[in-house]
Amino acid sequence: MRRNWAARLRHITLDGLRAVVLENERLRVTVVPDKGGDVVEFLHKPTDTDFVWLSPQGLRDPRDHLQGAADDVAQFVDHYEGGWQEIFPSGGAPSEYRGARLAQHGEVSGLPWECAVVADDEDEVAVRLSVRTRRLPYRMEKVFRLRSGTAALEIEGRATNEADLPLHAMWGQHIVYGLPFLRPGARIRLPEGVTVTPHPGPINPEGRRVRAGGPWRWPRVPADGGGETDLSVVQEPGAPSDIVYLTGFTEGWYEISGDVGIRVEWDATLLPYLWMWQELGASTGYPWWGRAYTVGLEPFSSMPTDGLAAAVANGTALVLDPHETKVLRLRAEVVA
Contacts of 286 (CB under 8 A, 6+ apart): none
- The pair phi, psi for residue 110, each rounded to 5°, is -110, 5
Low-confidence ranges of the chain (pLDDT < 50): none
Cα–Cα distance between 290 and 74 in angstroms, integer? 18
Q: What is the pLDDT of residue 57?
A: 83
Q: What is the pLDDT of residue 278?
A: 97
Residue 18 near residue 63 (C-beta atoms within 8 A):
no
Adjacent-strand bridge partners of 32: 38
The percent of the chain in helix, strand and coil, each rounded to the nearest 5, is 5, 45, 50
Kindly report, residue by residue over 125-156, the tens digit of the pLDDT.
999 999 999 999 999 999 999 999 999 999 99
Residue 22 near residue 15 (C-beta atoms within 8 A):
no
- Which string of DSSP letters, residue by residue, matches 196-248? EEE-SS-SSTT--SB-SS--EESSEEEBTTSSEEETTBPPPTTPPPEEEEEE-
- Which string of DSSP letters, residue by residue, matches 10-58? EEEEETTEEEEEEE-SSEEEEEETTTTTEEEEEEEGGGTEE-B-B-TT-
Per-residue DSSP letter, 288 = T
Half-sphere exposure of 274 (CA within 13 A, CB side): 30
Neighbours of 170 (CB within 10 A): 31
pTM for this entry: 0.95
Q: What is the pLDDT of residue 79?
A: 79
